[in-house]
């Protein structure tokens, strides 16, 4: 974990990371130890775990799997969801690239039997698979692994929970307001690893450039969210509960806007007006819906 404090004075955090796969049990335990266990991402699903296991087997055993093919140099291996699969079944196919057309013969297929335990079972191609245990072992390992993308998505969610915002148009760099350092430090201690996910964060002193970037980012974020909620309300298709959820979400956006107006020491008037328009529309729609539900 890399940290930097500028002039000993903190006005927020800028952070970025390189997310990697992680053992689900270890990650959940580490995050649970600092009170963040409920935010731990799930491991690979049953289907994804089988697909990855079959692909791994295909890479390791390519030569023997393509033993009977004439043009092995122009043949690739793919793993696809079985069209008639009921239990997360997948099939490995050979893609024979021809001059006029491709051929797609099946090499073998497998599914997961859920009988008290999760067991990978071949449903065709028994003769070409020399070691089914390798598929099972890879499957079990995958079922205990959080993908790098899920770890990254969890970090983005944590930024949001800390009232943070993305300050880079293409993503990857985030600002968190002052006060989020303790929670972020706990998260870093839980998941940062020399051989795994690495998080870099800096406690910063805001200047004109950083404030301009933060203002643009939070304006874009809240405007997009408020407009989306306004559009949903204006469809007239939301019931009372859905409208109540929209009102609550708009209230949270208003709180986030206030946080950033304080940080920037400047009102974001256009965003305020859009939030008010969306909130007024949601409140009116909610009131009318409740009236319609009252028996005559």
Average pLDDT over residues 170-177: 90
Q: What's the pLDDT at 127?
A: 87
Q: What's the pLDDT at 95?
A: 92
Domain boundaries, the chain: 2-43+147-205, 46-143, 209-293
pLDDT for 71-102, tens place per residue? 778 899 999 988 765 556 899 999 988 888 88
How does DSSP assign 250-287, residue by residue?
A: HHHHHHHHHHHHHHHTS--HHHHHHHHHHHHHHHHHHH
Please give the order of strands across the beta sheet that includes 165-166.
2-5, 198-203, 13-18, 174-176, 165-166
pTM of this structure = 0.82
Which of 182, 202, 160 shows the shortest CA–CA distance to 9? 202
Query: Tokens 């990857």, residue?
Result: 172
Q: What's the pLDDT at 239?
A: 92
List the single range of 39-48, 75-84, 141-150, 278-287 with lowest mean pLDDT: 75-84
Whether residue 53 contacts residue 138, with contact meaning beta carbons closer than 8 Å, is answered with: yes
Torsion over CA of 231, 235, 237 and 242, rounded to 10 degrees?
20
CATH class of 2-43+147-205: alpha beta
Q: What's the pLDDT at 4?
A: 42
Which of 213, 211, 207, 205 shows the shortest CA–CA distance to 173? 213
State residue 280 phi and psi, 5-degree precision: -65, -40
pLDDT above 50: residue 18: yes
pLDDT above 60: residue 63: yes
Instruction: Give the pLDDT band (50/70/90) at residue 292.
Output: low
Q: What's the pLDDT at 293?
A: 60
pLDDT above 70: residue 294: no
């Amino acid at each position: 974990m890399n940290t930097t404090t500028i002039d000993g004075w903190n006005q927020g955090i800028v952070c970025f990371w390189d997310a990697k796969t992680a053992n689900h049990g270890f990650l959940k335990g580490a995050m649970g130890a600092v009170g963040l266990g409920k935010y731990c991402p799930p491991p690979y699903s049953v289907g994804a775990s089988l697909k990855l296991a079959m692909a791994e087997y295909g890479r390791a055993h390519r030569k023997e799997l393509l033993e009977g093919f004439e043009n092995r140099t122009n043949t690739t291996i793919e793993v696809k969801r079985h069209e008639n699969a009921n239990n997360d079944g997948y099939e490995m196919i050979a893609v024979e690239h021809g001059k006029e057309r491709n051929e797609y013969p099946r090499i073998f297929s497998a599914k997961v039997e859920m009988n008290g335990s999760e067991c990978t079972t071949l449903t065709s191609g028994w003769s070409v698979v020399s070691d089914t245990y390798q598929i099972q072992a890879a499957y079990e390992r995958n079922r205990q692994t959080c993908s790098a993308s899920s770890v990254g998505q969890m970090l983005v969610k944590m930024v949001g929970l800390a009232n943070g915002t993305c300050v880079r148009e293409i993503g990857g760099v985030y600002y968190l307001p002052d006060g989020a350092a303790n929670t972020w430090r706990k998260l870093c201690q839980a998941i940062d690893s020399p051989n795994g996910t690495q998080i870099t964060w800096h406690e910063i002193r805001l200047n004109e450039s950083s404030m301009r970037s933060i203002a643009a980012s939070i304006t874009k974020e809240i405007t997009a969210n408020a407009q989306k909620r306004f559009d949903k309300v204006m469809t007239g298709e939301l019931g009372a509960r859905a409208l109540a959820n929209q009102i609550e979400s708009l209230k949270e956006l208003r709180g986030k806007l206030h946080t950033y107006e304080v940080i920037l020491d400047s009102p974001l008037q256009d965003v305020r007006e859009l939030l008010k328009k969306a909130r007024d529309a949601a409140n009116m729609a909610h009131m009318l819906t409740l009236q319609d539900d009252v028996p005559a």
